Structure 1
Amino acid sequence: MSSLSLSAAGAARQAIESAVPGLVDERFASRLFAKDPTLWGPAAREEAGIRLGWTEAATVSRPLVAEIVQLRDDFASEGVTRFVLAGMGGSSLAPEVITRTEGVDLFVLDSTDPDMVQLAVQDLDRTALVVSSKSGSTVETDSARRAFVAAFEKAGIDAPQRIVVVTDPGSPMDGSAREAGYRKVFNADPNVGGRFSALTAFGLVPSGLAGVDIERLLDDAEEASEFLRDDAEDNIGLRLGAALGGTTPLRDKIVIVNNGAPVVGFADWAEQLIAESTGKSGTGVLPVVVSDNAPELTSGAGDILVISLVPQDAEPADQGDAVAISGSLAAMMMALEVATAVAGRLLGIDPYNQPDVESAKNATRALLASSPEPSPAEATDGAIEIRGSEQVLQGATTVVEALKALLGQLPEDGYVSVQAYFDRLGWADLEKIRPLLAEKTRRPVTFGWGPRFLHSTGQYHKGGPAQGVYLQVTAATDTDVDIPGIPFSFGELISAQADGDAQVLTDHHRPVLRLRLTDRAAGVEQLLKATTEL
């Protein structure tokens, strides 16, 4: 198939040769596209039975195209050309990769950091808000909606006419949005889980409003589906899934790098799909998003598998334990969704549930309800407050000592997770810590912006293998934004989300070091410098 290709070497090739013939014999691909819920065993049957609508998304979503294009034209005639998406997890990551790949502007508000909220709530005369949530009760999304309603009203703008909603039929938001008279309510297929929803209304509405040719996107997906449903040994979905979940011993750190493929941000979308689908019951595979020349690419570690996103004319993978995949964006999305379903089968887990995502949400709600005083820092070093259990800190009083203490607990087969709870647009420099830590530890390092990673790798951190050590970075700000109708602000919300997740990780016996930057600029500089001194 011209729009999708895959080559494999080393352990990935061996896994494909071992697993794919059996998958073909049992007709996994055709049964998947026939929405057979028995593919993952009796325990998964109920959940899978209501989550396989994604296999026909390219066809079912077709009627949405005309509605979205018409709404985009109507907005344009009114001078509305800027779109902000309030969504989390699959509701935001898919539109982000689609619009970035197509070179179209879309402001993705998937943070509760007050600075980022303020960046979003600007230029209101030409702005419309898309609110995306399957359940309609996601706290980050609802808080953003409230902030925009208040901002529109303050600017003298008819708020309901500037708000578009994407949600499941019958959700709390479905009813309230229609009652409020919002401009348009799009109902998505309820039989599609959020992380598999890229080619449903959740991916198409914000992308199409922003200017993406969504009909072409669906054409590419439909073409890929015709190939991916075949029970054949050259089925790229089966082959990629075998590489993800079928290596022996399991290479459970999946390092994803873009080596010239014309897709922007695909690895971030893939990270959520793979981590949240497989990281449970003490097993799973961990996606590690890296850039060129990352230490993980040449570490030679026996638990690493490299997936390279390459141009369609690239040379096949012929060395290392690696997979090279190319194709159009929609084709690659479909292939990875199939591969994730295959990996779930090979790993013996249900790829459609997410048993540990709710725990951090519950901890956040409890903290917001009780409004506890902040715990005192165990130590302060320059612009950074240091917190952690005695077991984690082991008497450390400086940032360098605390980092050494945390990394000293890293297992041989472990990984480091960096979690930064503040504005990802204004402080992207902090991501430089990821390759620095990878170089120092010679182990895979993930980097997630909070709270968005809670809807992604957050599931893997609690439900996957107990291999990680966790560095949580929070930051003070002179800015705060009230959430209308709610007894807490965005600053209080993001603080509670960080506290709640750290509490749940600790309850799961995961080592957590917490660093709070009392000054963002000075703190980021100090933290990066400390990392180089390890």
Structure 2
Amino acid sequence: MAQRLWAKDAKLWGDDPKHQEVAKNRLGWLDVMGKMRKEAPAMTSFAKEAAQRFKHCVLLGMGGSSLCPDVLVRVFGKQSGGLDLRVLDSTAPDAVRKAVEGFDLQKTLFLVSSKSGSTTEVSSFYRHFRAELDKGKDAGSHFVAITDPGSPLEDLARKEGFLRVWPNPPDIGGRYSALSFFGLVPAALLGLDVGKLLDEADAVALASDGRVPIQENLAARLGALVGGCARRGADKLTLLLSPKLAAFGGWIEQLVAESTGKSGKGILPVDGEPVSEPASYGEDRFFVALWLAGEHAPEHEKRVQALAEAGHPIVRWELPSPYALGGEFLRWEIATAVMGAMIEVDPFDEPNVTESKEKTMALLSQAQQAGGKLPPAEPALRANGLALFCSAEHANILRKAGGSPAQWIGAHLALGKPGDYVALLAYLTPDDGLHRQLNELQGLVRDATRLACTSGFGPRFLHSTGQLHKGGPSTGVFLQATSDGGKDLPIPGQPYGFATLFAAQARGDLEVLQARGRRALRVHVEDGDPRKFVEAVREAVKLARR
């Protein structure tokens, strides 16, 4: 299988000519390191020049164009001579504000990062910040584009005087683009050594060659083990990462979920769920424990060892340094391609991602006709500052549990059966503190139900686990949390603002889940305080344990 992968044999993922054509045009990531090696001096030189003019950088991206840079920011941070870089991948108005909070816009560089060049969120971010900078001089020179050749974004960049355009190799899909310009230009701007990241990737490429025996080929072995166990029901790939590598889980989550979650199949990555005792888990888990040297915590190691001794499948390895992430990006890309072959899906398409996009656009069309706001929806229950929405049939089931939001949420979670999973879909303003609270909820839900529990911020996850939610097996119990996301911000050239876009994405996601017969409940925080949702879920978990 590894030999066929390196030979770029598109038949590895089935005999369907359409899938073979997709795969054939999406395998550039296998040898992109050589191309990027030639471009490394240009990236380094550009970063040094940028640092002479700018102090800050904001990457405007979504999905594959934002997750790798987010990992690099959180693992490495700003290095000597680099820029203070933030990633914006939320349409919540407050998230857009926070992206430049404390930054001098005249000293800020914006990376407009989109493979297609037409991503709604990225286009909206650009419109907003371009309008802010148009108040000064040379606004266009504050922007840099990373996109496919010939995309609408490349045309826009040439027309509006961007500082630079980095045309990415077009034979690389977004989620496989970490070692291309999408990941390496932000790395250079942070002040990282791009050559070191590529060295690590080259070392993994050599160790993953098709001639390397499977017992020594960690990438191919990992893919075969995860895919093989998924075929036997252990389809919850649970990530146990050391603290400094925690952000890497979000990148793995998108890669695996969007690549494998289709045709009623899928491998669900479980990221951020606190490790627990073996009795807390069902028989549907496959564990990966990945550690950075020097970060071992004895108590955590004991729990990982207990999982292995209890018979759970688990693979463990250690990274010698943060720069080893350059190799891990490639290792997981190879492993994911193998997973796709093992469960017989095409890991390079995303057939269901467009469903939520189309529903969002339909809702925005309604908003345009209604003066820029979405028509109000009537909740099935309103209490304690929360408004709950679901189908009429689902409301009839939940109403039997009582009249409080916690009782409804508890009844909703109780619908899960062994082998199912719970997904917390947070259309709330992203915040590190809230992220930790969602991770805590994952553990509480898991302990009360023995079901795997994931969490993610919307709309980011629409370009990640959203594909698996719609295209994968119908085993999810979805709990969506929404808020207005803060005071509205205009999107120049559009009849609606970010608050309406944010709301339309949440509502569109819910409606697609419902149309597919998924078990879905929306909890709207009416005053915008996410603690009300968190406390309601905590109370629901207590009720479920009684």
Compute the TM-score of the two structures, normalised by the length of structure 2.
0.88
Are the equivalent residues in 2 in contact too, given 1:87–1:141 (CA < 8 A)? yes
| 2:508 matches 1:500 | yes
CA offsets 1:68-118 (integer angstroms, 9 cap, x no match): 22222222222x121111111111111111232223342110000000001
State the SS of the aligned residue for 2:192.
Answer: coil
Measure how far apart 1:439 and its partner are. 1.8
- The aligned runs of 1:334-483 (5 Å cut-off) are 334-371=330-367, 372-393=374-395, 394=397, 395=399, 397-425=403-431, 427-428=434-435, 430-431=437-438, 432-483=440-491
**Greater than 6 Å deviation, 4+ residue runs:** 313-317
Rounded Cα–Cα distance in structure 1 between residues aligned with 2:279 and 2:33: 38
Taking a change above 3 Å as real, the CA distance of residues 392 and 64 of structure 1, as seen in their structure-2 partners, is farther
Measure how far apart 1:286 and its partner are. 0.2
| 2:25 matches 1:42 | no
| 2:526 matches 1:518 | yes
Are the equivalent residues in 1 in contact too, given 2:95–2:429 (CA < 8 A)? yes
Taking a change above 3 Å as real, the CA distance of residues 477 and 96 of structure 1, as seen in their structure-2 partners, is closer
Measure how far apart 1:67 and its partner are. 2.0
Measure how far apart 1:224 and its partner are. 1.1
Structure 1 unpaired stretches of 5+: 1-27
Structure 2 unpaired stretches of 5+: 79-83, 368-373
- The aligned runs of 1:112-511 (5 Å cut-off) are 112-122=91-101, 123=103, 124-154=105-135, 156-231=136-211, 232-233=213-214, 234-247=216-229, 249-259=232-242, 263-294=245-276, 298-311=279-292, 319=309, 320-327=312-319, 328-371=324-367, 372-393=374-395, 394=397, 395=399, 397-425=403-431, 427-428=434-435, 430-431=437-438, 432-511=440-519
CA offsets 1:306-326 (integer angstroms, 9 cap, x no match): 111124588997533211133
Are the equivalent residues in 2 in contact too, given 1:275–1:456 (CA < 8 A)? yes
Taking a change above 3 Å as real, the CA distance of residues 525 and 292 of structure 1, as seen in their structure-2 partners, is closer
Taking a change above 3 Å as real, the CA distance of residues 500 and 508 of structure 1, as seen in their structure-2 partners, is same
Taking a change above 3 Å as real, the CA distance of residues 440 and 292 of structure 1, as seen in their structure-2 partners, is closer
Worse-superposed segment, 235-244 or 317-326: 317-326
Matched with 1:57 is 32
Rounded Cα–Cα distance in structure 1 between residues aligned with 2:534 and 2:274: 23
Are the equivalent residues in 1 in contact too, given 2:62–2:121 (CA < 8 A)? yes
Measure how far apart 1:383 and its partner are. 1.2
Residue type of the alignment partner of 2:8? K
Measure how far apart 1:528 and its partner are. 4.6
State the SS of the aligned residue for 2:446.
Answer: helix
Are the equivalent residues in 2 in contact too, given 1:99–1:212 (CA < 8 A)? no
Residue type of the alignment partner of 2:409? L
State the SS of the aligned residue for 2:318.
Answer: strand
State the SS of the aligned residue for 1:420.
Answer: strand
Measure how far apart 1:462 and its partner are. 0.6
Are the equivalent residues in 1 in contact too, given 2:523–2:533 (CA < 8 A)? no
Measure how far apart 1:532 and its partner are. 4.5
CA RMSD of aligned residues (A): 1.9
Measure how far apart 1:503 and its partner are. 0.6
Residue type of the alignment partner of 2:20? R
Rounded Cα–Cα distance in structure 2 between residues aligned with 1:132 and 1:152: 18
State the SS of the aligned residue for 2:271.
Answer: strand
Taking a change above 3 Å as real, the CA distance of residues 216 and 264 of structure 1, as seen in their structure-2 partners, is farther
Rounded Cα–Cα distance in structure 1 between residues aligned with 2:43 and 2:250: 25
Rounded Cα–Cα distance in structure 2 between residues aligned with 1:244 and 1:525: 32
Are the equivalent residues in 2 in contact too, given 1:380–1:397 (CA < 8 A)? no
Residue type of the alignment partner of 1:276? E
Compute the TM-score of the two structures, normalised by the length of structure 1.
0.90
Worse-superposed segment, 464-473 or 119-128: 119-128
State the SS of the aligned residue for 2:31.
Answer: helix
Rounded Cα–Cα distance in structure 2 between residues aligned with 1:444 and 1:126: 44
Residue type of the alignment partner of 2:56? R
CA offsets 1:259-282 (integer angstroms, 9 cap, x no match): 46x534111100000000000011
CA offsets 1:161-183 (integer angstroms, 9 cap, x no match): 11010000011111111111100
Taking a change above 3 Å as real, the CA distance of residues 238 and 218 of structure 1, as seen in their structure-2 partners, is same
Worse-superposed segment, 168-177 or 223-232: 223-232
Are the equivalent residues in 1 in contact too, given 2:92–2:499 (CA < 8 A)? yes
Are the equivalent residues in 2 in contact too, given 1:96–1:265 (CA < 8 A)? yes
Matched with 1:71 is 46
Matched with 2:370 is none
Rounded Cα–Cα distance in structure 1 between residues aligned with 2:98 and 2:169: 32
Rounded Cα–Cα distance in structure 1 between residues aligned with 2:293 and 2:191: 25
Are the equivalent residues in 1 in contact too, given 2:407–2:540 (CA < 8 A)? no
Taking a change above 3 Å as real, the CA distance of residues 291 and 413 of structure 1, as seen in their structure-2 partners, is closer
Residue type of the alignment partner of 2:235? D
Measure how far apart 1:477 and its partner are. 4.8
Measure how far apart 1:255 and its partner are. 0.6
State the SS of the aligned residue for 1:246.
Answer: helix
CA offsets 1:106-136 (integer angstroms, 9 cap, x no match): 2110000000001113421321110110101
Taking a change above 3 Å as real, the CA distance of residues 526 and 389 of structure 1, as seen in their structure-2 partners, is same
Residue type of the alignment partner of 2:532? G
Residue type of the alignment partner of 1:355? P
Matched with 1:13 is none
Are the equivalent residues in 2 in contact too, given 1:121–1:151 (CA < 8 A)? no
| 2:77 matches 1:85 | no
Taking a change above 3 Å as real, the CA distance of residues 416 and 189 of structure 1, as seen in their structure-2 partners, is same
Worse-superposed segment, 324-333 or 157-166: 324-333
Worse-superposed segment, 145-154 or 117-126: 117-126
Worse-superposed segment, 215-224 or 368-377: 368-377
